[in-house]
Amino acid sequence: MRNVKAAVCIKCGAEYAAGNDTYTCKKCGGVLEIVYDYDYIKSQLNREKLAARKDFSIWRYLELLPIEEGSRLGPLRVGWSPLYKTEKLGEMLGLKNLYVKDDGINPTSSLKDRASAIAVARAFHAGKDTVACSSTGNAASSLAGGAAAMGLKSVIFVPERAPQGKVTQLLIFGATVISVKGNYEETFRLSAAAIEKYGWYNRNAAINPYLSEGKKTVSLEIAEQLGFKAPDYVAISVGDGCTIAGVWKGFKDLYAVGLIDKLPRLISVQAGGCCPVNRAIERGANGRPAPIEWMDENTLADSIAVGAPRNGDKALAAIQESNGITINVSDEEILAAMRLLGRSAGVFGEPAGVTGTAGLVKAAGQGLIPADALVVSVVTGNGLKDVVSAQKAASAASGTMAANGGASNLLRIAPDMALLTEEFSRRGIG
Amino acid sequence: MRNVKAAVCIKCGAEYAAGNDTYTCKKCGGVLEIVYDYDYIKSQLNREKLAARKDFSIWRYLELLPIEEGSRLGPLRVGWSPLYKTEKLGEMLGLKNLYVKDDGINPTSSLKDRASAIAVARAFHAGKDTVACSSTGNAASSLAGGAAAMGLKSVIFVPERAPQGKVTQLLIFGATVISVKGNYEETFRLSAAAIEKYGWYNRNAAINPYLSEGKKTVSLEIAEQLGFKAPDYVAISVGDGCTIAGVWKGFKDLYAVGLIDKLPRLISVQAGGCCPVNRAIERGANGRPAPIEWMDENTLADSIAVGAPRNGDKALAAIQESNGITINVSDEEILAAMRLLGRSAGVFGEPAGVTGTAGLVKAAGQGLIPADALVVSVVTGNGLKDVVSAQKAASAASGTMAANGGASNLLRIAPDMALLTEEFSRRGIG
């Protein structure tokens, strides 16, 4: 890979040749980061070249991706999700320049498709016939879908609490699914052991540093969609830590090659019931975060219910380097954000998908965000992924459950116009 | 609208001024069709102009759409869904040039977003503050989402059997949902009465001829994505009849303005348990279809479970004019198509969404499609819309239910490597 220099340990700085799929430091066990040859990339890429490209997917950024020359790229169209200027939502939050990036519009309906596209291309190039990961859901379905499209087998480890919709997607994509009677950490460990034993390609984003390179494409797109402008703030939900690390890497890469001229501040949003990353920042002192300590996984936002974040170090670095803000939200605030995005912008996100928005709502309410700041909230997954939570969100009208357990704007009625008009006039509709 | 000549009754030929939102013929009650000034459009649009456009949504085809000058266009990014060359699936079916258009990749995850985008733009331009429709689900969620993004209210009538995921989407989008204790026909009639009484904008596709103009954009995209080439065959599921009519209209419009030089044959696929349109074609004689007779709605493919298709006449005309093929499939064949698309192409469609593919599988098996034909199968909705059916599909391995009622490739296991390897060796995995 002419564009990649090395894989470097973020803890001890040890360097490894890029492309041999060493994932963690052989000396200290630290997570690796992919380091690019920015001078070379600068000579290959500029705004005009990008603007002329017709490939509206993550592959438009090939110079900034760790893909071996001549690799077969997966056929699914990943990325280039819409970036909406959400004026009504902005008005409600007192923000004049608020954008929402809807990453639920991806082949398997989440941002994780970006990472899996890299995994599948690298696995295929490495001659592997099977790819594997552990995941609370979205990484898994994106891997299973991407593998199916590429003609690879997939083996997926999910904790038993993974929502129905996500597991079903896996099975439709023909994956072998191991539903582990345990939490995410136990699931992860079992997958790691099996991957080592069977020699499958490892798509555990926390371990495999190539994957956050896929995730960073969300930032490349945000900047390009804003006319090569970096936002002032980017709000994103945080679980394992890989996504926020990827988001940050994307902006840093763009800055390094001169495609943007400033860096955003990250708003790291976690569920209050499971916020080990934010807690480490908040407990830090003298400009250094405290060590990450494990937490229980008490949130309905299953994709970010990660008590022992495997990529915590990269996440902490991203938050600190960006002079970021940490915000923890309750499940109620997450459900409220689902309704808010749906009603004000027509965007339907899953709980973990809208947690970034929930944090932004809170931050704006606390006056932490200047009114004229350029703000982007990334919605990381489609609401259809977790209909049970969406029903909870829909039911909770104005924060209180409707008496019948259903949503107050849902009427069940016989097909009779007289009954309907009576009901409408009682409710003041029409 | 300089590009639109009139709205013309498809039964008696009566003409109505375009844009006044007359929906059905005042003389004979027939459905209207939007007739364009093709000479004018030819003077405005050509392949080069289209190729230069940066708007990758249905709005790139504005010259071919019934949108008033200066209308506010909805902000959601509708259309330009991916068209995949599905080589593996093609091999399995003996088709060398098979493409799948994944229309589940739309803002509310179905093809119906195309029609709702037109509805919302026209409603806004007409000064309406509320839009309404009856729908088995997808038209509804697309309307609710589009309305929310545009700042309009929505009132949606659904039959009580509509799947959870679809109703939930409506509530998240802030729609008022009327769940009607009756079938689709009763739901439709109640909505029509209420829409008339309250003066809402009518998004019933069967009645409102502007909406299939939105749906036709799927054909405009197919042709452009194929390099302005018309396919030889297009397979599509048929319920109310509006979608296949829209698909046909799209190709006819392109042909009329010289952007393609031939027309495809349509493959009209219905569920065997509810196939009034196909039955009318099959019972026809002397080149004329028999009258459409109502049928029960016996299929799990809820979006096309329409016993009394409101746009049957347009559908019949489309099938006949295109020298089309009718294929009826069982629910088992629909579920098999879900698995087939997932496993071979990484595309996850809902039952009604993959019914076109199920029909194509059958037609190919019967030798009805030449091996070198250029064939497109449109997947009209995302599988996450109906997880219950997807679970049925996932469970039915090789046509037989696994003994435990679960999918044969789903293993539930404790987090224990010894147990896992034992289970893997028993199953021949690894």
Q: Are the beta carbons of B412 and A345 separated by less than 8 Å?
A: no
Q: Which amino acid is at B301?
A: A
So what's the pLDDT on residue B310?
A: 82
Look at residue A406 and tell me whether its pLDDT is greater than 70.
no
Provide, rounded to the nearest whole percent, the portion of chain B with pLDDT above 70.
Answer: 97
Helix locations, B53-183, DSSP H = 87-93, 113-125, 138-150, 164-172
Residues of chain A contacting residue B88, judged by C-beta atoms under 8 Å apart? 151
What mean pLDDT do residues B134-147 have? 91
CATH number of domain containing A99: 3.40.50.1100
Residues of chain A contacting residue B337, judged by C-beta atoms under 8 Å apart? none
Residues of chain B contacting residue A420, judged by C-beta atoms under 8 Å apart? 178, 190, 193-194
Instruction: Select from A75, A148, A165 the Cβ nearest to the Cβ of B342.
Output: A148
In a domain, B133, yes or no: no
Instruction: Determine the 3-state secondary structure of B306 from DSSP.
Output: coil
Cα→Cα distances A192→A196, A201, A202, B185, Å: 6, 11, 8, 54
What mean pLDDT do residues A343-355 have? 97
Say how far residue B131 (Cα) sits from the centre of its chain: 20
Residues of chain A contacting residue B187, judged by C-beta atoms under 8 Å apart? 415
**Residues near A317 by Cβ (< 8 Å), separated by ≥ 6?**
A10, A245, A248
Let me know: does A336 contact A355? Beta carbons within 8 Å.
no
So what's the pLDDT on residue A400?
A: 37
Q: Are the beta carbons of B109 and A382 separated by less than 8 Å?
A: yes
Q: What is the per-residue DSSP string for A83-133?
A: EEE-HHHHHHHT-SEEEEEETT-STTSBTTHHHHHHHHHHHHHTT-SEEEE
Q: Are the beta carbons of A394 and B171 separated by less than 8 Å?
A: yes
What count of Cα atoms within 13 Å lies in the side-chain half-sphere of residue A422? 7
Q: Which amino acid is at A384?
A: L
So what's the pLDDT on residue A120?
A: 97
Predicted confidence (pLDDT) per residue in A70-79, tens digit = 999 999 999 9
CA of B119 vs chain A CAs: smallest distance (Å): 15
Residues of chain A contacting residue B152, judged by C-beta atoms under 8 Å apart? none
Considering only alpha carbons, which residue of chain A is nearest residue B409?
Answer: A176
Measured over the CA atoms of residue B282, residue B285, residue B288 and residue B293, the dihedral's sign is negative
Considering only alpha carbons, which residue of chain A is nearest residue B171?
Answer: A394
Interface test with A, best of B181, B198, B384 (most A CBs within 10 A): B384
Q: Are the beta carbons of B412 and A108 separated by less than 8 Å?
A: no
Residues of chain B contacting residue A171, judged by C-beta atoms under 8 Å apart? 391, 394-395, 407, 409-410
Residues of chain A contacting residue B56, judged by C-beta atoms under 8 Å apart? 56
Residues of chain B contacting residue A412, judged by C-beta atoms under 8 Å apart? 160, 179, 181
Look at residue A235 and tell me whether its pLDDT is greater than 50.
yes
Residue B128's pLDDT band, with cuts at 50, 70 and 90, is very high
CA of B302 vs chain A CAs: smallest distance (Å): 17
Residues of chain A contacting residue B429, judged by C-beta atoms under 8 Å apart? 155, 176
Give the Cβ contact number of residue A229 at 10 Å: 14
> H/E element holding B8?
strand B4-9
Considering only alpha carbons, which residue of chain B is nearest residue A179?
Answer: B412
Residue A408's pLDDT band, with cuts at 50, 70 and 90, is low
Q: Are the beta carbons of A413 and B179 separated by less than 8 Å?
A: yes
In a domain, B140, yes or no: no
Predicted confidence (pLDDT) per residue in B335-348, tens digit = 999 999 999 999 99
Interface test with B, best of A348, A391, A422, A425 (most B CBs within 10 A): A348
In a domain, A29, yes or no: no
CA of B142 vs chain A CAs: smallest distance (Å): 9
Residue A399's pLDDT band, with cuts at 50, 70 and 90, is very low
Q: Are the beta carbons of A384 and B109 separated by less than 8 Å?
A: yes
Residue B399's pLDDT band, with cuts at 50, 70 and 90, is very low
Instruction: Select from B187, B338, B410 the Cβ nearest to the Cβ of A177.
Output: B410
So what's the pLDDT on residue A427?
A: 87
So what's the pLDDT on residue A256?
A: 98
The tokens for B391 are 């679970």
Residue B104's pLDDT band, with cuts at 50, 70 and 90, is very high
Instruction: Select from B84, B173, B390 the Cβ nearest to the Cβ of A346.
Output: B173
Distance CA A31, CA A209 (A): 7
**Residues near B80 by Cβ (< 8 Å), separated by ≥ 6?**
B56, B57, B58, B60, B221
Residues of chain A contacting residue B186, judged by C-beta atoms under 8 Å apart? 415
- Quote the Cα angle for B80-B86-B91, to 5°: 160
What mean pLDDT do residues A147-171 have? 90
Residues of chain A contacting residue B77, judged by C-beta atoms under 8 Å apart? 82, 84, 105
What mean pLDDT do residues B270-281 have? 98
> H/E element holding A418?
helix A417-427
Q: Are the beta carbons of A174 and B106 separated by less than 8 Å?
A: no
In a domain, A407, yes or no: no
Residues of chain A contacting residue B75, judged by C-beta atoms under 8 Å apart? 84-85, 346
Q: Detail the DSSP E strand segments found in B37-167.
A: 83-85, 97-102, 130-134, 153-159
The tokens for A133 are 């990961």
Residues of chain B contacting residue A198, judged by C-beta atoms under 8 Å apart? 424, 430
Residues of chain B contacting residue A344, judged by C-beta atoms under 8 Å apart? 148
So what's the pLDDT on residue A398?
A: 37
Q: Are the beta carbons of A169 and B384 separated by less than 8 Å?
A: yes
Residues of chain B contacting residue A162, judged by C-beta atoms under 8 Å apart? none
Higher pLDDT, B337 or A391: B337
Interface test with B, best of A56, A57, A168 (most B CBs within 10 A): A168
DSSP state for residue A399 in the 8-state scheme:
T
CA of B318 vs chain A CAs: smallest distance (Å): 31
Distance CA B427, CA B25 (A): 64
Q: Are the beta carbons of A107 and B417 separated by less than 8 Å?
A: no
So what's the pLDDT on residue A294?
A: 92
User: By CB neighbour count within 10 A (0-12 exposed, 13-18 middle, 19+ buried), where does B38 fall?
Assistant: middle
Q: Which residue has the tokens 């679970």?
A: B391
Based on the structure, what is the number of domains in chain B?
1
In a domain, A234, yes or no: yes
Let me know: does A253 contact A396? Beta carbons within 8 Å.
no
Look at residue B283 and tell me whether its pLDDT is greater than 70.
yes
What mean pLDDT do residues A134-158 have? 93
What mean pLDDT do residues B153-179 have? 90
Least confident stretch, A186-195, A291-300, B132-141, B410-419: B132-141
Predicted confidence (pLDDT) per residue in A172-183, tens digit = 999 999 999 998
Let me know: does B92 contact B360? Beta carbons within 8 Å.
no
Q: Are the beta carbons of B387 and A387 separated by less than 8 Å?
A: yes
Look at residue B257 and tell me whether its pLDDT is greater than 90.
yes
Q: Are the beta carbons of B409 and A174 separated by less than 8 Å?
A: yes
So what's the pLDDT on residue A379?
A: 98
Q: Are the beta carbons of A415 and B56 separated by less than 8 Å?
A: no
Predicted confidence (pLDDT) per residue in B43-96, tens digit = 999 999 999 999 999 999 999 999 999 999 999 999 999 999 999 999 999 999
Residue B408's pLDDT band, with cuts at 50, 70 and 90, is low
Residue A430's pLDDT band, with cuts at 50, 70 and 90, is confident
Instruction: Select from B145, B168, B181 the Cβ nearest to the Cβ of A412.
Output: B181
Write out the residue range of the structural domain in which residue A378 sits: 83-109+211-390
CA of A383 vs chain B CAs: smallest distance (Å): 8
Residue B403's pLDDT band, with cuts at 50, 70 and 90, is very low
In a domain, A385, yes or no: yes
Look at residue B401 and tell me whether its pLDDT is greater than 70.
no
Provide, rounded to the nearest whole percent, the portion of chain A with pLDDT above 70.
Answer: 97
Look at residue B145 and tell me whether its pLDDT is greater than 80.
yes
Q: Which amino acid is at B429?
A: I
In a domain, A235, yes or no: yes
Average model confidence (pLDDT) across chain B: 93
Residue A197's pLDDT band, with cuts at 50, 70 and 90, is very high
Residue B398's pLDDT band, with cuts at 50, 70 and 90, is very low
Q: Detail the DSSP E strand segments found in A160-232.
A: 176-180, 201-202
Considering only alpha carbons, which residue of chain B is nearest residue A109?
Answer: B105
In a domain, A314, yes or no: yes
CA of A282 vs chain B CAs: smallest distance (Å): 33
Q: Are the beta carbons of B82 and A145 separated by less than 8 Å?
A: no
- The pTM of the full predicted model, rounded to 2 decimals, is 0.95
Q: Are the beta carbons of B84 and A102 separated by less than 8 Å?
A: no
Q: Are the beta carbons of A348 and B173 separated by less than 8 Å?
A: yes
